[in-house]
Structure 1
Amino acid sequence: MPRPFAAAPYHESLSYNNQLLSYTLVFRSRRTIGFAVKPDGSVHVSAPAGTSREWVAQQVLKKADWILKHQASFANRPAPAPSRRYEAGSLHYYQGRPYRLRFTEARRPAVALVGDELIVSAAAPLEPAQTSALLHRWYAHQAGPQFAESLARVWPRFAAFNLVRPTLFVRNMRTRWGSCTPRTGRIRLSPELIRARPECLDYVLLHECCHLVVGDHSKAFYDLQTQLMPDWERWKAELNALPK
């Protein structure tokens, strides 16, 4: 049986809305064109053998908004980081500071910060999954007031836009730190954010507030974000380096 046709890949680039869009193109024995955006943001295009690179470029331009949307989605996901451990003495973070985990016996489960320790109390020894759930509930309980304080720091930067102040919600999110619905002015933030320094929380909240002005992740969006927080990349990197 003959091997399917597959030519060597081409590395192409084109301009779309003042943004450089690069992709890897391969011609194959297929009837339709296919697009894929990888987690690293790279774009891969498989086109039917016999079509031209110029025709493919036209199809990429038609798909550009979809491609940029998926690249932005991957870019905003927390990067892989070391995994948290839940035995006594392991490090856990609160507002960017490390605390040693210590277990004590008590009638009711509780979590408290004492000195440089994060103390978890329970009536019986806990499994790691139980400790994780207890800590997560504690983070969620602390999150509301801290999110409000962050908004008080961030919101004055948007004074010139005459926007309605957004409503904040604590929301568990597995792959994102936050999300925004511009139409309703609702911003959802992960309670895990309070493990990071307040500057990291401010970065995420400012990012979501920028969507109240620019709904997508275009160049205009990042220009605005950089204008309002020039060092946002520093805080993004620090946030994504937290143990997951």
Structure 2
Amino acid sequence: MPRSFSAAPRRETLLYKNQPLTYTLVFRSRRTIGFAVRPDGSVHVSAPAGISAEWVAQQVLKRADWILKHQATFAARPAPAPTRRFDADSVHYYQGQPYRLRFVAAARPSVAIVGDELVVHSPAPLSVPQTEALLHTWYVRRAGAHFSESLERVWPRFAEFNLTRPTLFVRHMRTRWGSCTPRSARIRLSPELIRARPECLDYVLLHECCHLLVGDHSKAFYDLQKRLMPDWERWKDELNALPK
């Protein structure tokens, strides 16, 4: 099998509508030119070996609008949420407020808020999974009361529909904040929601309550959600920005 040809990548910049357009160009053993825009906005062009860089630049200009469109799409996406840490001084949230983690030796394991700290008591040093499990249990124990308070705030918005008041359940869910079974009016909410501000919790609960009326995510559903909570996208974005 013959060895493939691939020259060292080179950085090229040209002007398009008086704005610089930078791309990485590499010549390879191929017959056609290829374009790629990566999530970080960088542009990569693979061109057949033997053609000129000037010809490639002309092709880039022809695809400039396509490139800019994809760069704008990636730029508009929210940044991925940071990952939670569980060591001393790492930051954890409760009702939208940040607290620094502190470990204290004690006879029994427990968690308490002391000033601006989330204090973890334990008789022996905890591993990361043990700390995570202890904090999760602490959130679960407090979730029910916060969920009930949220329903008191949200449910009056549904008064016009004469619906059966839903029953709330605390349920750990790996990939979603909540779920709804309209037939039985059962709504399950993740205890992780109480890490966020109450408005974020209200958004999720209102979203699930809207499913009591519209079972899918159709335009009718989002029209209803928008009418009952006009600023719902703000709280969705804030919720999704929490460390995972």
TM-score interval w.r.t. the shorter chain?
0.5 to 0.7
Secondary structure at the residue paired with 1:242?
coil
Aligned counterparts, 1:151-190, within 5 A:
151-190=151-190
1:51 alignment partner in structure 2: none
Instruction: State the Cα deviation string for residues 184-230 of structure 1 (Å, max 9, x = none).
Output: 00000000000000000000000000000111110000000000000
> Any unmatched runs of 5+ in structure 1?
1-78
Aligned counterparts, 1:1-244, within 5 A:
80-244=80-244
* Aligned AA (2:228): L
Max Rg structure: 2
| TM-aligned CA deviation for residue 91 of structure 1 | 0.3
Instruction: State the Cα deviation string for residues 2-43 of structure 1 (Å, max 9, x = none).
Output: xxxxxxxxxxxxxxxxxxxxxxxxxxxxxxxxxxxxxxxxxx
* Aligned AA (1:184): S
Once residues 131 and 86 of structure 1 are traced to their aligned partners in structure 2, the CA distance between those partners, rounded to angstroms, is 7
Secondary structure at the residue paired with 2:102?
strand
TM-score relative to the length of structure 2 = 0.67
Instruction: State the Cα deviation string for residues 39-97 of structure 1 (Å, max 9, x = none).
Output: xxxxxxxxxxxxxxxxxxxxxxxxxxxxxxxxxxxxxxxx9411111111110000000
Once residues 211 and 153 of structure 2 are traced to their aligned partners in structure 1, the CA distance between those partners, rounded to angstroms, is 17
* Aligned AA (1:103): F
Once residues 177 and 198 of structure 1 are traced to their aligned partners in structure 2, the CA distance between those partners, rounded to angstroms, is 14
Once residues 81 and 106 of structure 1 are traced to their aligned partners in structure 2, the CA distance between those partners, rounded to angstroms, is 33
Secondary structure at the residue paired with 1:212?
coil
Moved over 6 A (4+): none
Once residues 161 and 83 of structure 1 are traced to their aligned partners in structure 2, the CA distance between those partners, rounded to angstroms, is 40
Once residues 136 and 232 of structure 1 are traced to their aligned partners in structure 2, the CA distance between those partners, rounded to angstroms, is 26
Once residues 94 and 175 of structure 2 are traced to their aligned partners in structure 1, the CA distance between those partners, rounded to angstroms, is 20
Number of matched pairs: 167
| TM-aligned CA deviation for residue 100 of structure 1 | 0.5
> Any unmatched runs of 5+ in structure 2?
1-78
Indicate the percent of aligned positions where both proteins have the same amino acid. Answer: 78
| TM-aligned CA deviation for residue 123 of structure 1 | 0.3
Secondary structure at the residue paired with 2:243?
coil
* Aligned AA (1:157): R
Once residues 240 and 224 of structure 1 are traced to their aligned partners in structure 2, the CA distance between those partners, rounded to angstroms, is 22
Once residues 84 and 214 of structure 2 are traced to their aligned partners in structure 1, the CA distance between those partners, rounded to angstroms, is 35
